[in-house]
Amino acid sequence: MTFGQGKIWMDGAFVDWAHATCHVLSHVVHYGSSVFEGLRCYETPDGPAVFRLQDHVNRLYDSAKIYRMEIPYAKEEFAEAVLATVRTNGYRSCYIRPFVFRGLGAMGVNPLTCPLHCAVAAWSWGTYLGDEAMEKGVSVRISSWHRPAPNTFPALAKAGGNYLNSQLIKIEATHDGFDEGIALDHYGFVSEGSGENVFLVRSGVIYTPPSSSSILPGITRHCVFQLARDLGVRIHQQVIPREALYVADEVFFSGTAAEITPVTKIDNIVIGDGHRGAVTGRVQSAFFDIVEGRTPDRHGWFTRVA
């Protein structure tokens, strides 16, 4: 099935896609009061399985806690709702979007009188930045829009309103002829893409910005750390100046949608030799070998749907 078809789990029951609606005066519509996750289900030799389900559910609940949202389901119930959504729609592989939002209540910034609604949707979604990007890489520009300063928007929360900033980054990049944008943090150091974490490789060592650089600590980002260690590749978190991207041997993105995507040009400066680098290729291959079932799931990242 494609986007717009099938069933959506909403507040404990499955409804047709067209009926999974909210009122136009819902708090989320006017003030962006939602938290969400993005997961992938992969088809494995043992059947469809959701990648890092519990980690995503944990982060959803962390985001909700930051915004004082009391989710009316135990984590185990929400996790089962994710699996049930995949089963009900008969997917072998798909993208999954669990989310929690504030509905119709009093208008105004104060959200606490508005009811919470919970939902899980799923659809077929291929390579986020294009099939060719996995080998040839993508072009990126450094955005004129920065990530929020500390104590403004909580970067650790995957909240709907935070993605207004991401939209500006993406729109700007697209309008200027690039595939994606990279934002700097409040201090001018590298932060992240509009929806991806950023890594660079220099002299065989991987570097990535720390949480203090206004990043969302990605689940796939964590996979990169584990895979690098498995491969015997050194990896460090540290603040990264903008110009370090230009002189890097390799740059790549990670994310649930982007998976592991090479970056081969930034601000029209060719990165390395302009092709997917050796370290990026090793990490990318190790990742896809696991999610596509060619090597065992030795880290326990999958939860079977059946």
Catalytic residues: 158
CB 128 within 8 A of CB 255: yes
Rounded to whole angstroms, how far apart are CA atoms 239 and 241?
7
Tokens 């959504």 found at: 85
How many CB atoms within 10 Å of residue 151?
Answer: 7
List helix spans (H) across the chain.
Answer: 27-31, 53-66, 75-89, 133-136, 163-175, 219-231, 242-246, 278-291
DSSP letter for 295, please: S
Name residue 56's amino acid.
H
250, 277 Cβ separation under 8 angstroms: yes
Q: Which tokens in the block code for residue 215?
A: 């990043």
Cβ(253)–Cβ(193) below 8 Å: yes
Contact 162, 155 (CB under 8 A): yes
Asked if residue 169 lies in contact with residue 192, where contact means CB atoms within 8 angstroms, the answer is no
Q: How far out from the chain centre does Cα 77 lie?
A: 22
> Is the Cα torsion angle 238, 244, 245, 251 positive or negative in sign?
negative
SS3 144: coil
User: Which residues on adjacent β-strands are paired with residue 254?
Assistant: 197, 260
Sequence-distant (≥ 6) Cβ neighbours of residue 69 within 8 angstroms: 35, 100, 102, 116
